[in-house]
Structure 1
Amino acid sequence: MNSNPIKVSGCVVTYNNASIISECIESVLKWTKNYDFKLYISDNGSTDGTVELIRRRFPQVIVLENKRNLGFGGGHNRILRKLDSKYHFVINPDIFVTQDVFGPMVDYLEVHRNAAMITPKIMNDNGTEQQLPKRNPTIRYTILSKFKPFKHYRQIYTRELENLNTPTDVDFCTGCFFAIRTSVFKRLKGFDKRYFMYMEDADLSRMVRQRYRIVFFPSVYVYHKWHRENLRNLRGILRWLKSMIQYYMKWGWEF
């Protein structure tokens, strides 16, 4: 990040994340202490002491307590009107930062004015890369790829077999960690409120790409302690199916 102070913000949406949120916040604050950075927590009605823990341990963090669970996108949208930054980071509570990803990502957006969203390499705990979607969702990628004969569609969806070692334009920017121009985020009114959880990042990506580039930036990385716990129960699966149907009803049932 250049010597001129650029206002940067970040938001983490929490829901009963007391067991993991301290590690996330500590790592984010550690690597943003030299920047003009403001961190928001949008809590969706936690009952496990998440809010109390954050207020006690991190008084510099701005906490918004939502009266009910607004979901992923709704939780992030709660802070839209408060943002006065130039760039905004969307951060999952299970993200852990071990290097300065913020400065390089902001620097890239500063130079490349036709890019509006950027995501780094996302890593597993064991040091392997998480192969996350980089193409627009289609029926073959989201449904057929879950069946053994069509597993290769997942590799196409994530572009796993490509050598993406330099900044590369992508269709889909994962919601677990990305930066977006705040002006663009506000103009689009944040995430589409029709999605409670799942597919809202694909939807936002598609809206952004109508006018701007989205970039996969593998020069830096974060760790994502992702266990897909919400898809291990019936409620989570039904939410995923509902969001997928909403996405295809909006953008078309592309095979």
Structure 2
Amino acid sequence: MDLAIVILNWNGKSWLEKFLPNVIEHSDESVIYVIDNASTDDSISFIETNFPNVSIVQNKTNFGFAGGYNEGLKNIQHEFYCLLNSDVEVTENWITPVAILFKHDSNIAAIQPKILDYNKKTHFEFAGAGGGLIDNLGFPYCRGRVFENIEKDNGQYNDETEIFWASGCCFFVRSKDFWTQNGFDARFFAHQEEIDLCWRLKNSNKKIFYTGKSTVYHVGGGTLNKQSPQKTFLNIRNNFSMILKNSPISTLLWLLPFRLVLDAFAGIYFGYQNGISHFWAVIRAHFSFYKQIPETIKLRQKSQISKFYQEKWLVFKNFL
């Protein structure tokens, strides 16, 4: 398997020191890269001194998760990528089940392993758990995690199945499919960019898969704390943009207005629960989304437009 394991780093020397040896140990013949997002710590010198076989790609500035990977991956030529968070512990033979799935079905574009909590290894981890899904209102959730409720791993998700989205914390993807979709939406900066990419891939008739035969352990919150107002801002704005960009027009006409109203009330709740900074984050997210609407509309998949007319033709044909 021509696989590049690619770790995005920004001032994460402590994570690299803790987890990079583990990744090297269990990654067989895969080539390991670190894309550095213009770190100001000594991450680069640390890698060069201690891990000379790890290739380094240096971005000129901090492009965030989405833009950082987009820029760095331009310099990495392999058939498959594994985009791996720096705060992830992998396990023995974690790559093999993924390689088998990719070989079995050429229409699979992306795959996620089982993601458990590094600090509570009997339970799933928030970011991905047993595979990502999305509800009718456009809210993402996971098998093994709904809102803040995290399940214990009792083997209930040891299966291999198609899912809606794969977590960016450990994201295997065919490079051809990644670049066919022009990578992540760099405007997202961070959060839900992998869901948006998976949605675009599914709209292009590609499959997203989960395998419970491969396991990794994720610390979570290593870059942006779960309670950060900035995380609230990014999640809400990016979710709106994702819905506008990828939903069928027939769904979009009712969903987006309903969600905008619903999230306005959610902002009041967030403010009450977490403080005024979170309420303000919701307001900022709305206005940032409004500002991006013209560009988001331009980015809408052509397949969505054609799908809309195909639906209308089928209705008209059945009427005749």
Is contact 1:12–1:40 with CA below 8 Å preserved after alignment?
A: yes
Compared CA separation, residues 52 and 60, structure 1 to 2 (3 A): same
Is contact 1:97–1:222 with CA below 8 Å preserved after alignment?
A: yes
1:34-113 counterparts in 2 under 5 A? Answer: 35=29, 37-113=30-106
What is the CA distance between 1:246 and its match in structure 2? Answer: 2.1
What is the CA distance between 1:7 and its match in structure 2? Answer: 1.5
Q: What is the aligned length?
A: 238
What is the aligned partner in structure 1 of residue 192 from structure 2? 199
Compared CA separation, residues 130 and 52, structure 1 to 2 (3 A): same
What is the CA distance between 1:94 and its match in structure 2? Answer: 0.7
What is the aligned partner in structure 1 of residue 158 from structure 2? 165
Alpha-carbon RMSD across the aligned residues, in angstroms, is 2.7
For residues 85-113 of structure 1, the C-alpha deviation after alignment (integer angstroms, 9 at most, x for no partner) is: 22110100111112221122112111122
Larger RCO: 1 or 2 (CA < 8 Å, sep 6+)? 1
Please give the secondary structure, in 2, of the residue aligned with 1:218.
strand
1:127-166 counterparts in 2 under 5 A? Answer: 127=121, 128-130=123-125, 132=128, 134-136=132-134, 139=137, 141=139, 154=147, 163-166=156-159
Partner amino acid, structure 2, of 1:113 = S
- Aligned equivalents of 2:242, 2:155: Cα separation in 1: 26
1:163-242 counterparts in 2 under 5 A? Answer: 163-210=156-203, 211-227=205-221, 229-242=224-237
Pick the structure with more helix per residue: 2
- TM-score, structure 1 as length reference: 0.83
Partner amino acid, structure 1, of 2:125 = Q
Partner amino acid, structure 2, of 1:74 = G
- Aligned equivalents of 2:196, 2:155: Cα separation in 1: 24
Aligned partner (choices 3, 14, 17) of residue 8 of structure 1: 3
- Aligned equivalents of 2:8, 2:233: Cα separation in 1: 21
Partner amino acid, structure 1, of 2:69 = H
- Aligned equivalents of 2:239, 2:154: Cα separation in 1: 25
For residues 108-160 of structure 1, the C-alpha deviation after alignment (integer angstroms, 9 at most, x for no partner) is: 11112221111110011221122536213654736xx9xxxxxx96399x9x9
Partner amino acid, structure 1, of 2:17 = S
Is contact 2:36–2:59 with CA below 8 Å preserved after alignment?
A: yes
Partner amino acid, structure 1, of 2:158 = N
What is the aligned partner in structure 1 of residue 27 from structure 2? 32
Q: Which range moved further: 170-179 or 106-115?
A: 106-115
Is contact 1:43–1:65 with CA below 8 Å preserved after alignment?
A: yes
Partner amino acid, structure 1, of 2:105 = H
For residues 153-209 of structure 1, the C-alpha deviation after alignment (integer angstroms, 9 at most, x for no partner) is: 6399x9x99943310110011110021111111222211122101110100111111
- TM-score, structure 2 as length reference: 0.67
Aligned partner (choices 231, 243, 254) of residue 238 of structure 2: 243
Partner amino acid, structure 1, of 2:3 = V
Q: Which has the larger radius of gyration?
A: 2
Is contact 2:109–2:173 with CA below 8 Å preserved after alignment?
A: yes
- Unaligned stretches of 5+ in structure 1? 1-5, 146-151
Compared CA separation, residues 7 and 179, structure 1 to 2 (3 A): same
- Aligned equivalents of 2:11, 2:77: Cα separation in 1: 28
For residues 29-49 of structure 1, the C-alpha deviation after alignment (integer angstroms, 9 at most, x for no partner) is: 11123x2x2222111121121
Q: Which range moved further: 229-238 or 72-81?
A: 229-238
Please give the secondary structure, in 2, of the residue aligned with 1:20.
helix
Is contact 2:159–2:211 with CA below 8 Å preserved after alignment?
A: yes
Is contact 2:200–2:246 with CA below 8 Å preserved after alignment?
A: no
